[in-house]
Amino acid sequence: MQSAPNLVLVGPMGSGKSSIGRRLADRFGLAFIDADQQIESRTGTSIRTIFECEGEAGFRERERATLAELLSASSTLIATGGGAVVDPVTRSLLQERGFVVYLKVGIAQQLARLARDRSRPLLATDDRESVLRRLAAEREPLYVEVADLCFDTDSLGAIDTTVKLGRLLEQQWRPGCQQTHQHNETTA
């Protein structure tokens, strides 16, 4: 059993961070916050426009600052953007201030779930599969590095995932502050 003030979901685009996060937050009585939505409401514009105007680097700076602020709170469930783990300072903060769940998903599922999506700038390309494969190769080790628990969402819908993941979290995570949050990854 590990103590951490917040629950955090990491994982690639289409892994279900927002839909599962909302349900898990209800289940555990936490406030749900989607980091991308926070960035959009603070800037008053879309992630796509931020990428267009400030480039990916500008977006990452906003993402880092937003997550640092969100993680300073307690009793929140934070759904991060798929690239949040790329930043080393964010990775440390996630581990310090959250019990981190890595939602795993395969490329075929991602492509299917995101087929109609036009809001993600990194997928504005004719060859989404190559982009998703490259991002997975770069980021998979980082998701694993920060995760306290890995959970495969490939074959389950949001409701079943919430039920199963909820049971695991009951066994493994205790809400609350601990000065030194032990990092100890398990896989489901």
Q: Which residues bind ligand S3P (CB under 6 A)?
A: 13, 17, 36, 47, 81-83, 120-122
Which residues lie closer than 8 Å to 125 by C-beta, 6 or more apart?
A: 131
Q: Between 62 and 164, name the residue whose CB sits nearer to ligand S3P.
A: 62
Minimum distance between the CB of residue 97 and ligand S3P, rounded to whole angstroms? 19
Euclidean distance between the first and the last CA atom of the chain, given in angstroms as a whole number: 15
CA distance 73 to 71: 5
DSSP annotation of 3 reads E
Closest residue to ligand S3P, judged by C-beta, is 81
| Structure token digits, residue 154 | 């490939």
Minimum distance between the CB of residue 36 and ligand S3P, rounded to whole angstroms? 5
Q: Between 97 and 139, name the residue whose CB sits nearer to ligand S3P.
A: 139
**Closest C-alpha among 144, 183, 148 to residue 165:** 148
Grouping H, G, I as helix, E, B as strand and the rest as coil, residue 27 is helix
Q: Between 85 and 169, name the residue whose CB sits nearer to ligand S3P.
A: 85
**CA-to-CA dists, residue 37 to 10, 32, 175, angstroms:** 15, 11, 24
Minimum distance between the CB of residue 177 and ligand S3P, rounded to whole angstroms? 27
Minimum distance between the CB of residue 105 and ligand S3P, rounded to whole angstroms? 10
Minimum distance between the CB of residue 42 and ligand S3P, rounded to whole angstroms? 14
DSSP annotation of 85 reads G
DSSP annotation of 73 reads S
| Structure token digits, residue 79 | 């759904």
Q: Between 139 and 181, name the residue whose CB sits nearer to ligand S3P.
A: 139
Q: Between 36 and 148, name the residue whose CB sits nearer to ligand S3P.
A: 36
